[in-house]
Amino acid sequence: MKKQNTTSLIKIFGTVLIITIFFSCSTVNRIYTDNDLTRSSKRFELKYLVRDRVRRSPLHFFRQTIIKEIGRDNEVNYTAYDVLTLSGTSFTVDDKVFLIIDNVPFSMKIDRMEFENERSLSEDTQTFLNSESVPITVMTGYSEDNSKIARFSYKIPPEAIERIRNSNQLLIRYYSGPSMMTVKPGKKSFRKLKQLIDSF
């Protein structure tokens, strides 16, 4: 019994350690700056994640990368790269993206879309104690997890950027068959986005 408790504590400690390392090394909610010699531009990059907690929504995860590029002539462009992870039974996502800034919708012109199906198998196991009270793990079957991945890229127009700079709320809206999916960036991500807009 003592051995089982020690093993459980080691597993819990290991899991906590892995999560801590992951988040300390995370590239999320940080602004990175690079000089792009081939395009003679300065690049700023921001990534953030949102996990959808609405049960009836087919959306599981949302990841957005925003690139701000300042050209040689000081022309500034913003490009968003959105990755949506959806349930395997969801409809294909419509080729429309809306930024809703303080309740004012802006339709984005899609530059590129990609769709793929993802399938993963995992073993189902169950642990029993044998007659000598030694735990034995037995495979009881397989679980299959299907999901759909949708990728979009689009330029964010200057009028939308100016509105975001002075706004209190940003929502990103997608449609998938009968489902309306609304992504709300977290407070820190929204603050970092405004910081990205003001970066030079």
Higher-confidence residue: 156 or 26?
156
* Distance between CA atoms of residues 119 and 99, nearest Å: 30
Q: Is residue 117 part of a domain?
A: yes
122-140 pLDDT tens trace: 777 888 888 888 888 887 7
Q: Is residue 6 part of a domain?
A: no
Q: Is residue 142 part of a domain?
A: yes
Higher-confidence residue: 127 or 144?
127
Does residue 23 carry a pLDDT above 60? no
Q: Is residue 18 part of a domain?
A: no
Q: Is residue 85 part of a domain?
A: yes
Question: pTM of the entire structure?
Answer: 0.75
Q: Is residue 188 part of a domain?
A: yes
Q: Residue 64 in contact with residue 52, Cβ under 8 Å?
A: no
- What is the reported pLDDT for 108? 97
- What strands lie across the sheet with 76-87, from one edge to the other? 31-36, 41-51, 59-70, 76-87, 135-155, 110-129
- What is the reported pLDDT for 65? 97
- What is the reported pLDDT for 198? 92
Q: Is residue 5 part of a domain?
A: no
For residue 171, give the CATH number of its domain: 2.60.40
Domain count of the chain?
A: 1
- What is the reported pLDDT for 20? 43
Smallest CA-to-CA distance from 117 within 142, 86, 93, 82 is with 86
Does residue 118 carry a pLDDT above 50? yes
Q: Residue 115 in contact with residue 149, Cβ under 8 Å?
A: yes
Residues 6+ apart with CB under 8 A from 155: 77, 78, 79, 80, 108, 109, 111
- Of 41-45, 97-101, 136-140, 196-200, least confident by mean pLDDT is 136-140
Q: Counting Cβ atoms within 10 Å, is residue 29 exposed (0-12), middle (13-18) or buried (19+)?
A: middle
Confidence of residue 13 (pLDDT cuts 50, 70, 90): low
52's tokens: 């959808």
- What is the reported pLDDT for 6? 54
- What is the reported pLDDT for 58? 94
Q: Using alpha carbons only, give the angle 163, 165, 166 rounded to the nearest 5 degrees.
A: 70
Q: Residue 57 in contact with residue 179, Cβ under 8 Å?
A: yes
Q: Is residue 13 part of a domain?
A: no
Domain range enclosing 35? 28-197
- What strands lie across the sheet with 97-101, from one edge to the other? 104-108, 97-101, 170-176, 179-183
